[in-house]
């Protein structure tokens, strides 16, 4: 890797390399050597910028959480347009692309990574999944205020239900991602009790 490269560029190159390894080979194959080999740089580059591999992974997750904030803003701004079911279907399909599913699995099975993330973001739940539920809750709240969701809808129950069901649909790496209509069917089923027409 050339000298004098801005640290943010190095971080992004390493993060992108880690995502490619996750997509291609899964969480079990993600090692510091695999990341630096994929990035085309010496192993020492990663350890120059991060205390250890779990610190690198924690920064990767936190970076992806920050990126989700942009999607949350876009979804919130979509309230009142299109249909509720379509908006949520598209949002869940974006959230649960293969990298996110692999990162959630990584968090689940690495105790040190979970501990670091808990210290950085002391919120309950699994990082990324929790932020996804918050994103969906904010959107549903906006739609409830617009009258497209029943006024007595339990947003705190609906949001994690949608995210949990969405994660289950996408969780099998060995298979192909679910079709859009499968995700849409799940969304309309969850929303059936809070709107006369879940396709609205």
51-102 pLDDT, tens digit per residue, is 999 999 999 999 888 888 889 999 999 999 999 999 999 999 998 876 788 8
DSSP strands (E only) in the chain: none
Q: What is the pLDDT of residue 180?
A: 93
pLDDT digits over 149-184, tens only? 999 999 999 999 999 999 888 886 566 788 999 999
- Per-residue model confidence (pLDDT) at position 172: 67
What band does 3 get if pLDDT is binned at 50, 70 and 90? very low
Contact present, 8 and 26 (Cβ < 8 Å): no
pLDDT of residue 1: 41
Say if CB 57 and CB 156 are below 8 A apart.
no
- Give me the domains of the chain, ranges plus CATH numbers: 1-49 (1.10.10.60), 65-191 (1.10.357.10)
Looking up tokens 């390894």 gives 21
More confident position, 154 or 120: 154
| Cα separation, 33 vs 149, whole angstroms | 49
DSSP letters of 95-124? Answer: HTSHHHHHHHHHHHH-HHHHHHHHHHS--S
- Report residue 117 as tokens: 């993330």
Q: What is the pLDDT of residues 104-117, one digit of tens each?
A: 888 888 888 888 88
What percent of the chain has a predicted confidence (pLDDT) above 70? 91
- In contact, 170 and 102? CB cutoff 8 Å: no
> How large is the average pLDDT for residues 4-13?
68
Give the gyration radius of the chain's Cα atoms.
19
pLDDT of residue 175: 62
Cα–Cα distance, 126 to 75 (Å, whole number) = 21
CA distance 45 to 1: 8
- Long-range contacts of residues 71-78, Cβ cutoff 8 Å, at least 24 apart: 71/95, 71/135, 72/131, 72/134, 72/135, 72/138, 72/139, 75/135, 75/136, 75/138, 75/139, 76/135, 76/138, 76/139, 76/142, 78/139
Greater model confidence, 58 or 3:
58
Instruction: Evaluate if pTM is beyond 0.75.
Output: yes
Q: pLDDT digits over 177-196, tens only? A: 889 999 999 999 999 989 76
The pLDDT assigned to 110 comes to 85
pLDDT band at 4, cuts 50/70/90? Answer: very low
């Amino acid at each position: 890797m050339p000298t004098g490269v801005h640290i943010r560029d190095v971080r992004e190159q390493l993060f992108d390399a880690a995502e490619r390894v996750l997509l291609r080979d899964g969480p079990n194959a993600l090692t510091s050597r695999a990341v630096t080999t994929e990035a085309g740089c010496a192993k020492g580059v990663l350890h120059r910028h991060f205390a250890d591999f779990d610190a690198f992974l924690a920064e990767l997750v936190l970076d992806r959480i920050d990126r989700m904030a942009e999607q949350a803003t876009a979804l919130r701004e979509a309230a009142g347009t299109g249909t509720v079911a379509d908006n949520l279907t598209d949002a869940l399909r974006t959230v649960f692309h293969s990298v996110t599913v692999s990162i959630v699995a990584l968090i689940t099975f690495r105790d040190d990574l979970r501990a670091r993330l808990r210290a950085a973001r002391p919120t309950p739940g699994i990082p990324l999944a929790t932020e996804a539920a918050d994103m969906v809750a904010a959107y549903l709240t906006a739609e409830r205020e617009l009258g497209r969701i029943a006024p007595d809808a339990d947003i705190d129950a609906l949001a994690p239900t949608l995210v949990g069901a969405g994660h289950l649909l996408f969780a099998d790496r060995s298979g192909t991602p679910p079709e859009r209509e499968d995700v849409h069917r799940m969304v309309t089923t969850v929303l059936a009790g809070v709107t006369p027409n879940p396709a609205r």
